Structure 1
Amino acid sequence: MGIEDKNIEDQKLVQKAFEALLDSYLQSNHRKKVDIITKAFHFANDAHKGIKRKSGEPYIMHPIAVAQIVCSEIGLGSTSISAALLHDVVEDTDYTVEDIRVLFNDKIAAIVDGLTKISGEKLSTSIFTDNVSAQAENFRKLLLTMSEDIRVILIKIADRLHNMRTLGSMAPAKQYKIAGETLYIYAPLAHRLGLFAIKTELEDLSFKYENPEAYNGIKQKLKETDSKRKDVYFHFAEPVIFRLNQLGYKYEIKAREKSVYSIWNKMQKKAVPFEQIYDIFAVRIIFENEPGIDEKKRCWDIYSVITDLYRLKPDRIRDWVSRPKANGYQALHLTVMGPDGEWIEIQIRSRRMDDIAEKGFAAHWKYKEGKIEEDNELEKWLKTIKEILENPNPNAIDFLDTIKLNLYSQEIFVFTPKGEIRTLPQGATALDFAYDLHTNIGDHCIGAKVNHNLVPFSKKLNSGDQVEILTSKKQTPQPEWLNIVTTAKAKTKLEYALRKQRKDTSKTGEEKLNEVLKDANIELSVPVLDKLLDRFKMTKKEDLFYAIGTGDIILPPKVGKLLSIKKNNTNLFVRYMKQAFNVGKKAGDVVPIRKEGMQVAPSPIDKKKTYVLEGDEFGRNYIILTCCNPIPGDKVFGFLNDKNEVEIHAVNCPVGMKLKANYGDNIVNVEWSTHTQFSFLTTVIIKGLDRMGMLNEITKSITLDSVNIKKLEVDSKDGVFEGKIELYVNNVSSVKKLCSQLMKIDGVQSVNRLT
């Protein structure tokens, strides 16, 4: 095919994609503003003319795909669709935001400007600092822009979803960076905004690229067990369908499988194999909204039908209809024992609730006339984001962790003494509640009364608790409180108070030092500061002032005279300084921490190459850290640290995930050597029915398998045991062989490697 023919084919492809976008838009409930969308398409198509994506297709196909997601999967209107079509124009071409404003309107220009700032290298604002992660800073920019217009983040999530769908054309290191960032930031954000379908797909796609073997393994097992699940669903659904039809309800009933990632996540948390995950699917009943029918009543009517047929599990009722989740989710959940002897989860929701559950807050606009309460929940969350942004942590990565605290959290509902209800994340403490009420209440909190009982402010709260906060004017925030608070709001307010305290203490320390030096007619100059910093192994003058302010460094009354000695005899000065200063616990010499197996990489790392993890007689060219303890055969990636060392992490290591999300450009492609004689530490969890001689058989089996045990712990209770075995192995095959050997022991129920 010639170049001209290829161009014609590309034009047809682009036109077809745009027509599909228009078809989706015309089927939506938004006002039909086709002209502005068409204008945006032609403008973007001309701006990106001749540019190709990595996959080889015309670049304009990406903005069209993002606009299609924005339209059909999120449910936004013409302004957002137009902004999605134009979202890369300012960043990738010579056009400016002002050009967009003149040609279109202020709203579209503002959204495009927000999207451009997120992608750009720098954003001029005082809260950004040097030497921080570019990826974390970009996320902070994203939140800043989102607090002005929520559509910015919704379009950015659509952009990320299409990038993930087309990630196969990228190099492995780039795949790890983007997948890690997606799992760490964008999937939780989609969850918090109620975009359940998109959140699930982002998680699965990230998992697919990070751990393809595990992903494909679970997919295969789902396929193999599909017919059995269909039988269980059919046996359960048949009598339910018969009864609902008798009542004349308009509804849809279906089985919804758990995502691959959520199944894998449950396997890891419970340390069990796929075969021991029993709630792989849930039954969803979606009834149509009919005039004059109360949604809440209809939910409970269907609940009554099901519980008349099947036995209810009382502790598994979740009423998200009366009190929606903070992301707008509404449904009534229950679990019953099905006819095949298996627990089955049922989710009951209206069509409106289902739209909101799948498309999030954007779907609320479709039902605006209903005065939906959940719209206020979005405003509450955005208000919290704005409060956090007012006093951000100077370190972008810590800031990112603070925000992420609440992205995936489940909610609890707590009452004030006057009966006002407050929504907090599950696991929140009384101190979190204090800061939720007001900053001053949090700063001066000394305890709490929960349900009229006196408790420490570290007490974790439960739904329905009534909480009264006790305060004292003498109380001040303490650094150890950071280990008590769990909400992003409380942590941000506390960190701000502690920074202010530190600043005040540092100022006091500086005044003390100046006062002592003034007696000797010595100015606090740079050379004098350098001498003091060097003596106390510090790099910042603020740390020195703070240590003096707290009393960790005690100034002798004649320090000025000692400093004057430096002019004539530096060695004598240092000796006098060592004798004169009483150094406290915080100001002592710094002792470097040596990492396990640390070897400096022999030469600068080329991040475009794939490195073989060598060992044996040549010495390791990498570092194995204890956060995930990967062993040969595990899917791993390398991370180039600031000492030019390559750290090895398992692809699903939580620490590694954070590195990918914040420092994706430092990812190195690595693979294990085909042979190694090194031993690697790993842990195996074994569970089963206890009996006489069980421990003896376990140890004998391990000994026969020729592996070196480091530690063996077994706990037995009520005829059931659980053991934890730490041992040294050469590779994954050794672990699999051992697990297989242990499973042959009579009474052993499961054996899994802890990752």
Structure 2
Amino acid sequence: MTTTAPVNTPSKTSVIPLHTLLEQYAITHPEIKSDKNLDIDLDLIERAYHFSEFHHSDQIRMSGEPYMVHCTQVVLTLIGLQLDAVTVAAGLLHDVVEDIEPVTIDQLAREFGDDVAGLVDGVTKITSLSFQNREDRQAEYFRKMLMSMAKDVRIILIKLADRLHNMRTLSYLEPEKQQRIALETRDIYAPLAHRFGMAQIKSALEDLSLKYLEPDVYRDITEKVAQKREHRDQLIKEIRLPVIEALKEAGIEATVKGRAKHFYSIYTKMARREKSFEEILDLLALRITTESLRDCYHILGIIHTLYTPVFDRFKDYISKPKMNMYRSLHTTIIASNGEMAEIQIRTRDMDRVAEVGIAAHWLYKEEQIESAGTKERRDWLSEAIDWQTDMADPQEFMQYLRMDLYDDAIFVFTPRGDLQELPTGASVLDFAFAIHTDIGLHCSGAKVNGRMVPLGSKLNNGDTVVIMTSTQQTPSSHWLDIVKTTKASSKIRAWFKKAALPQSIALGEDLLERELKRLKIKKEMKEGLKAIAKGYNIPDVSRLYAAIGRGEYAAAQIAQRLLPDEEVPKIASPKKSILTKFVEKVCGSTGGVKVRGLDNLLIRFAQCCQPVPGDPITGYITRGRGVSIHRKDCPNIVEDLERRIAVSWDVGKDQSFLVGLKVYGYDRTGLLGEISKTITDSNINITSAAMKTVDGLADGQFTIEVEHVKLLERVIRRIKKLKGVDRVERLSSGNEMSDDVFDHLKEAET
């Protein structure tokens, strides 16, 4: 039986001696039958040890320890995972290129071979990134990590061992850095260890993250777990001894061990169930390891005979493994004193895989055979690399990475009986994209277990799914609301970006041209757009137009950047700015309205009905806010004749007014662009535009500047003629209480 170096051993204050590491390597690698092969491995590790020791000799960590302490602790973890000598040597050397200027990858290749140099290079490339923005830096860091992992999975194993020791010495850093590193560890590194089935490292990283993210909670849980140790040990003994006796009588060889659950596991149970520590009954876990699969199910029957099982807590991860290929039987039993305990039953091979994950399937050992578990993880890596290339936005990338790392699995069948793995909560549409991107993009319907179902229907374990496709079918925006998998979501988004690109470019260019004309920016100044695009990390000017057309950047924002600083004060806009118009409406001489018999009154336009020149209007004298101007058909006009006042339009030549439009119709590609073009072709400025779609229906809202109601009515008629538009309405908040009504009610109450 092999021994594994515990991953939760605290950091030592001295360097682990070379002979200790070599002894551990020999103990944990009994599969190396040849003394000659073992000597070759040990020689490589010894040379790497001395090289690292020499080049790190003058370096001290923040903890005050020699830097070599970190290198040897990382390697102790790698040896415990039973990784090969090349990985161990790379672990000793993982920081020399980054930290020691004269040392190069070429030098390592000459000294230790291409494999060692390749691993060190992969680790170095991940860490040596420089970005102005922390989000960009973090996203690019994990992109590089994914790419490196796909090239050689041993790189991530070194990074996990490196992060584990860094977390153990985190107390020596500033609190702000502690929080940032602990959060990144909890959200990315621990789930990554989980994804690769490395339960030991995952649990250690989660516990250490909790220590810094929730220090009070961590302290409280550790103290209470320690206080219950005697009671826990007694309960383990009471459960364990009858089990051992029953297994002996049945002639089953097995090992039975008990332990308290990890601190982070206890914390999540408390948070999820909204209970205190004292109310959590299942804080105890026993693990039974045996030789054969048959024995596992036999032991399960014996356990359920000895103790009362909690049936809704039974899980068979042997017949249906988790996405990280974890396999085990889980059952929860009620002990004689009424407390609950979880019991895990698995073979010794399953136990090894559960603890060290992908390292147990390692491809680089003597047999060179790829296991099913390793293939599953490589498939996930390939998919992750595929969808990450479609995501330029750092926040979006990090969101989907976290989501993809956390998901557990269900298994569904194709019509031919092939098994397809999907995350829990996946829909029919997710299944279609999992089969092939083209099938997903043209999915028109589906049958689950022989029955027609909507595309958003959630799948369950064991479902058989038939997908129907049509060349006429293309993605709808509401598909993004019903898919669960990162692959499906990224492919749908990519399709929309590609399909809408020409319309977005045309719309963006038109909006920018109008803004440039308004600001009287000369044609030759447009050359500056290339520099602006580069500044936003946009590849070319056409993509910048597309970003404006999609609403990611305002045309005014881009146009202002074309103006030289010294020219800004000289610009005289042919139209007044929205802010100027608003101020004039509130405080100006007339604000476009005459009040009969009175001058210099404060004028404000009611937002509930948004009157524009040509609308029949009336005035209402408010308390402290002057005269409020309403359309005569506004439902918010207060029936208080003493407050009413006659008003009429008195509009200047260049004066325009804001008005909102609601457009209802059927979703189709390019609809937003056509509506916007119709408005701008009518020589009307758009100050804001938004459109959302639900189940094929489109709902758009536009704010525009018009000079007269006739112009407004004309553009409404033109929009109504567009294909897919059902109706167009002026925006009003007739259902909301206006300030005038509120004032009137308050006075009545008084």
- TM (normalized to structure 2)? 0.66
Q: Which residue of 2 aligns with 1:380?
A: 379
Cα deviations by residue, 1:360-388 (Å, 9 ceiling, x for unpaired): 11012479699743232222222222322
User: What amino acid maps onto 1:335 in structure 2?
Assistant: T
3-state SS of 2:346 partner: strand
Helix, strand or coil at the partner of 2:255: strand
The within-5 A match list for 1:5-44 is 16-29=16-29, 31=32, 32=38, 33-44=41-52
The aligned counterpart of 1:83 is: 90
1:461-610 alignment to 2 at 5 Å?
461-509=459-507, 525=523, 571-572=573-574, 580-581=683-684, 583=686, 585-586=689-690
Give, in angstroms, the shift of residue 28 of structure 1. 1.7
The answer as to whether partners of 2:410 and 2:423 remain within 8 angstroms in 1 is: yes
- 1:729 corresponding residue in structure 2: none
1:526 to 1:143, Cα distance in 2 relative to 1, 3 A: farther
Match of 2:221? 218
Task: Summarize the Cα distance change of 1:220–1:548 in structure 2 as closer, same or farther, 3 Å threshold.
Answer: closer
User: Using a 3 Å threshold, how does the CA distance of structure 1 residues 478 and 135 change in structure 2: closer, same or farther?
Assistant: same
| Residue 66 in structure 1 maps to residue 96 in structure 2 | no
Distance (whole Å) between structure 2 residues aligned to residue 475 and residue 512 of structure 1: 30
Alpha-carbon deviations, 1:418-461, whole Å to 9, x = none? 22110111111111111101111111223322222222212121
2: CA distance between counterparts of 1:444 and 1:323? Answer: 30
Q: 1:146 and 2:144 equivalent?
A: no
**Amino acid corresponding to residue 232 of structure 1 in structure 2:** L
* Cα contact 1:136–1:396 (8 A) shared by 2: yes
- Are 2:351 and 1:354 aligned? yes
Residue number among 193, 196, 199 corresponding to 1:196 in the alignment: 199
CA distance in 2, matches of 1:404, 1:175: 20
Whether the 8 Å CA contact 1:132–1:395 is kept in 2: the answer is: no
> Is the alpha carbon distance of 1:62 and 1:511 closer, same or farther for their aligned partners in structure 2, counting shifts above 3 Å?
closer
Which residue number corresponds to residue 4 of structure 1?
none
Deviations 1:287-346 (A, max 9, x none): 2x4xxxxx2211111112222323333333322223332212111122333333334321
1:230 aligns with 2:229: no
Q: Is the 8 A contact 1:147 1:385 kept in 2?
A: no
Looking at structure 1, the residues matched to 148 and 419 of structure 2 have their Cα atoms a distance apart, in angstroms, of 30
Q: Which residue in the other structure is 1:113 paired with?
A: 121
Question: Hey, what's the Cα distance between the residues in 1 that align with 2:399 and 2:419?
Answer: 27
Q: Cα offset for 1:64?
A: 1.2
Structure 2, gaps ≥5 residues long = 1-11, 33-37, 530-535, 555-569, 577-653, 657-679, 691-700, 705-750
Separation (CA, whole Å) in 2 of partners of 1:238 and 1:229: 14
1:134 aligns with 2:175: no
Paired residues for 1:711-726 under 5 Å: none
> SS of the residue aligned with 1:479?
coil
CA separation of 1:570 and 1:54: change in aligned 2, threshold 3 A: closer
Deviation of residue 285 (structure 1)? Answer: 0.4
- From the superposition, tell whether residues 515 and 21 of structure 1 become closer, same or farther in structure 2 (CA, over 3 Å): closer
What amino acid does structure 2 have at the position aligned with 1:39? R
The Cα RMSD (Å) is 3.6
The change in CA–CA distance for 1:171 and 1:326 in structure 2 (over 3 A counts) is: same
Is residue 506–residue 545 contact of structure 2 (8 Å, CA) maintained in 1?
A: no
User: What is the alpha-carbon distance in structure 2 between the residues aligned to residue 469 and residue 38 of structure 1?
Assistant: 58
Take 2:86 and 2:356, find their aligned partners in 1: how far apart are those partners?
A: 18
1:437 aligned residue: 435
The aligned residue for residue 447 of structure 1 is: 445
Correspondence for 2:180 among 170, 177, 196? 177
Question: Any conservation in 2 of the 1:529–1:541 contact (CA below 8 Å)?
Answer: no
Measure the CA separation in 2 of the matches of 1:547 and 1:48. Answer: 51
1:739 aligns with: none
Deviation at 1:80, TM superposition (A): 0.4
**Partner in structure 2 of residue 162 of structure 1:** 165
* Cα distance, 1:177–1:547 mapped onto 2, change above 3 Å: closer
Cα–Cα, structure 1 residues 301 and 371, in superposed 2: closer, same or farther, change >3 Å?
farther
**1:270 aligned onto 2:270:** no
Deviations 1:156-211 (A, max 9, x none): 00000000111121121221121111111101101111110110010111111222
CA contact (8 A) 1:22 1:34 kept: yes
Q: 1:451 to 1:16 in 2, by over 3 A?
A: closer
Paired amino acid for 1:585: A
CA distance in 2, matches of 1:511, 1:370: 57
Q: Distance in 2 between matches of 1:541 and 1:333?
A: 57
User: What code does the residue aligned with 2:494 have?
Assistant: Y
- Return the letter of the residue paired with 1:439: T
Distance 1:397 1:548 in 2: 21
Measured in 1, the distance between the counterparts of 2:251 and 2:44 equals 44
1:523 deviates by 12
The answer for the alignment partner of 1:725 in structure 2 is none
For the 8 Å contact 1:431–1:442, the answer to whether it is kept is yes
Aligned position for 1:616: none
Q: How far does residue 570 in structure 1 lie from its aligned partner after superposition?
A: 6.1
Alpha-carbon separation, structure 2, partners of 1:409 and 1:36: 39
- TM-superposed CA distance for 1:235, in Å, is 2.7
Instruction: Classify 1:206/1:523 alpha carbon distance in 2 versus 1 (closer, same or farther; 3 Å).
Output: closer
TM-score, normalised by the number of residues in structure 1: 0.66
Pick aligned residue for 2:422 from 424, 429, 435: 424
Q: How far apart in 1 are the matches of 2:514 and 2:274?
A: 62
Aligned equivalents of 2:296 and 2:514: distance in 1?
A: 75
Maintained 8 Å contact 2:270/2:277: yes
Please tell me whether the aligned partners of residues 65 and 162 of structure 1 are also in contact (alpha carbons under 8 angstroms). Answer: yes
Matched, 1:319 2:422: no
- Contact kept in structure 2, 1:514 and 1:524, CA below 8 Å: no
Change in 2 beyond 3 A, CA 1:524/1:279: farther
Report the Cα distance in structure 2 between the residues aligned to 1:103 and 1:368, rounded to whole angstroms: 26
CA distance 1:511–1:209, change in 2 (3 Å): closer
* 3-state secondary structure, aligned to 1:243: helix
Aligned residue pairs, count: 543
Kept in 2: contact 1:443–1:477 (CA 8 A): yes
Contact 2:282 2:342 in 1 (8 A): yes
Residues 488-540 of structure 1, C-alpha deviations (whole Å, 9 max, x = no match): 222222222222123233245478889999xxxx9994657999xxxxxx999
Aligned equivalents of 2:404, 2:514: Cα separation in 1: 48
SS of the residue 2:17 aligns to = helix
1:305 to 302, 305, 308: 302
Secondary structure at the residue paired with 1:407?
A: helix
TM-fit CA distance, 1:37: 0.6
Partners of 2:13 and 2:173 lie apart in 1 by 22
- 5+ residue gaps, structure 1: 1-11, 123-127, 290-294, 532-537, 554-567, 591-755
Which of 382, 396, 403 is the aligned partner of 2:394?
396
> Contact 2:286 / 2:341 at 8 angstroms: preserved in 1?
yes
Q: Is the 8 A contact 2:425 2:484 kept in 1?
A: yes
Q: Is the 8 A contact 2:508 2:548 kept in 1?
A: no
